[in-house]
A and B are shown apart, each in its own frame.
Chain A
């Protein structure tokens, strides 16, 4: 019935699902973990405030993230939408307006809905414009050059770059900085974090990104997911430590179990 060599991973998959389900149920009945203070998240309001003072726009970038919702980038994009919603609400409150730049075409209707919802919640639905969502291109360099041009022409006061970035993160970040923008970044993509750290004034690294998305959305499902993910990480850490020690001692039953 099962493919040989995949039963171990199926067992781990089931365990992950059970743990996450338990935590989701716990959050629904009112329990919740503490999400620590995230300076990068708090700086988003500072960024929007700066834009309001300077009378210049706020740019939001969710990254090229090729394919968007059809790929493994889907969790990153989902979290980016939560952060977009949070940023859009701030811009609605401060009256600065926001422009989001997109690579994947399938994100256009989603982003429009997210920003419109944010403006509606803040009671300024009339300020929402469809031009707040700018789809540039599905081609990475075309998307990047489009954003760089927009930065040069429109000189944003703040640049919030949170999402799934590929190679273009350094270009997007520096383009914003060269235009004088205060830059806040965040991505869980391992290959781009180092660029973000070098470019941004504040940055969310790795899982801080998901935690930030969960804490701004206050969505019980997102918080439960973060909580469950933390539990699983502790389990994995334990497995790694115990497994490594046992392997060194010549006992490989954990490895054999995982290879079942």
Chain B
């Protein structure tokens, strides 16, 4: 049992990583076929995980309903009801589209879509308040942050060019030079972190992905 829990998964992980690295760098057909097979297998696993998510949702919400967890059980009940309603409509839309497509489209496009857009719209309001709170000329850095933000914001909107034709030019320069340079540093370091973590998986020096902290 100890062998299966710790060593087995680590060996599988290491071998898979090495095979995927060889898939990218080495041209012989064997490595290409193996890599292709592994990638397709991941797609299958990911699809299975979707089903697992559904089961997890039921396992999480049903106890809340049965135990009448205060402040939560009615949300869980609604969640379960809507899960099954949409499942039923999806199946109906696939096998009897004439009967069910109208209700399916309505629930998806006019309820789910609108709710999603409303949540996305929150971002606009929240960005406003966060920006208004954060962008103050307290220090030199904050001042630079605020001024470049103002230029970038105006450059992104058509009205910037109307106010002064130079605004889009400066905004583009900020995006293409300053922002790109800064983000390149981030991209390099985060990619490096990824490479190092994967190397640690290969040599068995990390178990985070296997469930240990």
Q: Are A and B in contact, CB atoms below 8 Å, in the complex?
A: yes
For B134, list chain A residues within 8 Å (CB).
197-199
Contacting chain A: which of B98-106, B157-165, B202-210?
B202-210
A167 CB to closest chain B CB (Å) equals 7
Interface residue range, chain A: 35 or more
Pick from A17, A85, A108, A229: contact of B193, CB under 8 Å:
A229
What's the Cα separation between A3 and B131 when bound, in Å? Answer: 48
A96 within 8 A of partner (CB)? no
A5 CB to closest chain B CB (Å) equals 10
A52 within 8 A of partner (CB)? no
Interface residue range, chain B: 35 or more
Pick from A105, A148, A190: contact of B53, CB under 8 Å:
A105
Contact B213 A217 (CB under 8 A): yes
A135 CB to closest chain B CB (Å) equals 6
Given contacts A3-B26, A198-B130, contact A210 B49 (CB under 8 A): no
Contact B25 A10 (CB under 8 A): yes
For A233, list chain B residues within 8 Å (CB).
188-189, 192
| CB nearest to B190 among chain A residues | A188
Given contacts A113-B212, A170-B126, contact A16 B199 (CB under 8 A): yes
What's the Cα separation between A60 and B67 when bound, in Å? Answer: 25
A69-108 vs B, Cβ < 8 Å mask (1 yes, 0 no)? 1101011111001101100000000000000000001101
B195 within 8 A of partner (CB)? yes
7 smallest A-B Cβ distances: which pairs? A190-B186, A78-B208, A174-B126, A198-B134, A75-B197, A105-B53, A114-B213
Other contacts beyond A106-B49, A171-B123: 6, CB < 8 A: A74-B194, A142-B116, A190-B190, A198-B135, A210-B193, A229-B196
